[in-house]
Structure 1
Amino acid sequence: MKTGAGRFFEDYRLGETIAHAVPRTVSGGERALYHALYPARHALSSSDEFARACGLPAAPIDDLAAFHLVFGKTVPDISLNAVANLGYAEGRWHLPVWPGDTLRSESTVIGLKENSNGTSGVVYVRTRGLNQRDELVLDYVRWVMVRKSRLDAPAPEPVLPTLAQTVAPDTLPIPAGLDFSRYDFALAGEPHRWGDYAVGEQIDHVDGVTIEEAEHMLATRLWQNTAKVHFDATNRADGKRLIYGGHVISLARALSFNGLANAQMIVALNAGAHANPCFAGDTVRAWSEVLDKAETPAPGVGAIRLRLVAVRHGAEPFALRTEDGKYRPDVLLDLDYWALMPR
């Protein structure tokens, strides 16, 4: 038997570390395709000269492009047979990724719990992305609902990891040399700096993007994401291909430029949930809420904690949950992250 059907819930063991294939050397092509797929235009990841003026050697690859590259390698081992990707926590971007870096991924199983229906279970993993020098580039926790193959397989002892609700501001990674003291707001696209935002403020990002099947398929292949629900229209009873949640994250982040153009670098992921499925033809809009702010030791650099919400067109502005506490059916994404911004 030369082929494999991927891992099912009963195949995971608490504490095991899985080394994922295949390493990927990053080039400027990833940046160009990322900017073609999403309306991404944050200056720090667009211009080498802008990045050098901010103390970096060149423009890094977009933070979410690095995330997708690391995430995509985990799919054949973690979520090939997933029912749904449920959430994220404790994410940190430890180092920028530059063209020429080679990334690989590994995941450790930190939690297991079979569902009461006996047909699936939730797998918790901590994934690490490493470069060619074995330096930690980023890490995060995610949990995935995975089908069982053998329904008579015994349920493992349930273990639920204890996860921090937020990444503490004093532990946020700051890229070496980053300096916003001579930041060019005109070139960045907006005048709004860290001090202009207030905790509790909500921002409607105004613009929208209608998701096309072809763009989603290109994006999912670019990140080498092999999850069946994204490619195989026979995998769902409704005959639809589920849009990769990371595609929605990048669309929403790109849309947030209008109002948050100076939130230049994502450095931590506190929490995230794909609230409802997204399909081709949906028009995605986004809004943000300022959850917290913190100073950093880097010159001219402040940290801002943001809730980024992606919704379908026609959603009620700034409405997240129903009266019973569940996500509204038009909410696609609820993402809580820290970004770096000029003070």
Structure 2
Amino acid sequence: MSAAQDLHDPEREQLDSQWLYRQGDLVLGPLTGHQLVEKLYAGVLTGKTEVSATGPSGFRKLEELDAFKLHVSKAAAKARVEAEARALRSRRMRQRLFAAGVAAVVLGGLGAGAWQIARYSAVYLPGVERDELSIAVSTPVITVAKRSTPEELFEYPGEPKQQTAERPPGKPTETAPDKPESKPDTRPDSKPEKLASAAVSKPDRRPTGGRPSGKVTTDPDGMSTEVNYDQAAINRVVKQSQSTLYRCFKEEAERRPGFAAKVPLEFTIGNDGRVAQLWVDHPQLKKGPLFDCLLGEMKKWPFKPYTGERATVNLAFTIGKK
């Protein structure tokens, strides 16, 4: 059978015939037409591949042979679909990798934030166990400052010695430091009693407008005392800031294994709103790292400046191990 006759045979005969095909400079085969079709769908051959029936016939492209035209079109469509599917899978893979990277960053940030929160709460937040250290705080008691003994007085460097209960000229200085205070005179027409030594008393000054924060009391010697600090404001600052002292107690507990004690504190607020004096009423803690840490934190407490007699705040911390 001649090559010309082979090319014009019916499709079945062409598919059953033996064929040679070229790949570069190589001539491979023989293969049946069915095997050529399988290689078309597998992507090994394309419509441009040259084939020839066995014999002296010349090579022609598969897409030019009637028996293979339909298969060439289907194989090309299949190749396009597979290429689009591969591109889609590649895009999805990149999106998944990007989402995984973002999730890793977010989880890392959340983990770091949780660690910081846990670290902060272990030191500052009340009501949380701090390495099994239990800290309870009493309600602050605010009174007018009393005269202090020199060895207990804390002074800021470069500042003159602070007197906590200033008296006008002519007042005797032998008054006992722990003499109890008298109850405030709340009568609207009350006036301070005059001293036997003819000292002039201070007038009753009361702030105008807003919530009153001052009052005038009379000590047992008849001297009027002007009090202008706002107890409610001081209570708010103490309540908001007292947790900053927990770090100091935690560090003291690390220095003293099994540390447990009630630590009463007394501090005086200067007229500029800064803590001017601090006492630690505990025989082993009057001075040292705990005192320095407490004072350093309390100097940051934002009290409001005021005039008149100074305020003293008594506050107690009970420290123990759970």
What TM bracket, shorter-length normalisation? under 0.3
Normalising by structure 1, we get a TM-score of 0.23
Between Structure 1 and Structure 2, the one with more strand by share is 1
Normalising by structure 2, we get a TM-score of 0.24
Q: Higher Cα Rg: structure 1 or 2? A: 2
